[in-house]
Amino acid sequence: MKFFVDSANIEEIKKLNEWGIISGVTTNPSLLSKEKGNPYDILRQICEIVKGPVSAEVTAVKFEEMVEEAHRLADIHPNIVVKIPFIEDGIKAIKYLSERGISVNTTLIFNPIQALIAARAGARYVSPFIGRLDDVGHDGLSIIKEIVEIFTIHEIETEVIAASIRHPRHVLMSALYGAHIATIPPNVFYQMIKHPLTDIGLQKFLEDWKKKEG
């Protein structure tokens, strides 16, 4: 499973990219609206930092406008992947854009059938939102498992991005269930690398080393 950063914050993306394990970035209108500056400039800067797919979402909801906005976003940089919400006009837009060589990440996926339809329309990625399902009392991770199973049975190449990740266990289980990618907010990356026994162990090694004679 690959790691994407789920953020539009340039400083956070730069810092995490230095770890050398980041394969891409996902943004959305809410994340971009938190940042100062022109969203298109921010997306361009992100593409210059991370050498991998960078998802940028349309805000239009009608087919013609979605397609027009998708082209404007795709023109920002060759690594831009256009995020299309899973609505009726969105399905048509996925088909239209995919046939014209524009990669699509279908967003706001909340059940496996939506994911299957998006894949059949030609989406390169589907993004099931685990955390938001958990928030309303459902089991978000179970849809990751089911989507991966369906795509495996039917030999579908669309990649599954585990999205709306809230804690390291979401990452662990997404990896076990076979998600191709997890898109992770910066705070969860820092939670993932922390273990108290690592810190205690290091402290002990350094103390013992200091005590060494000669």
Residues of span 117-176 touching ligand E4P by CB under 6 A: 127, 129, 131-132, 163-164
Between vectors from CA 29 to CA 25 and to CA 30, what angle results, nearest 5°?
Answer: 95
- Work out how close the CB of 183 gets to ligand E4P at its nearest, in angstroms, rounded to a whole number: 5
Q: Is 183 in the site for ligand E4P (CB under 6 A)?
A: yes
- Work out how close the CB of 165 gets to ligand E4P at its nearest, in angstroms, rounded to a whole number: 6
Q: Distance between CA atoms of 192 and 60, rounded to whole angstroms?
A: 35
Positions of E strands within the chain? 2-6, 22-26, 54-57, 80-85, 104-109, 125-128, 159-162, 181-184
Name which of 169 and 209 has its Cβ closer to ligand E4P: 169
* Catalytic positions: 83
The number of residues that bind ligand E4P (CB under 6 A) is: 11
Which residues lie closer than 8 Å to 120 by C-beta, 6 or more apart? none
Contacting residue, 5, 25, 28, 91, with ligand E4P by CB under 6 A: 28
Q: Distance between CA atoms of 190 and 168, rounded to whole angstroms?
A: 9
Contacting residue, 9, 25, 26, 170, with ligand E4P by CB under 6 A: 26
Contacting residues toward ligand E4P, per CB under 6 A: 6, 26, 28, 107, 127, 129, 131-132, 163-164, 183
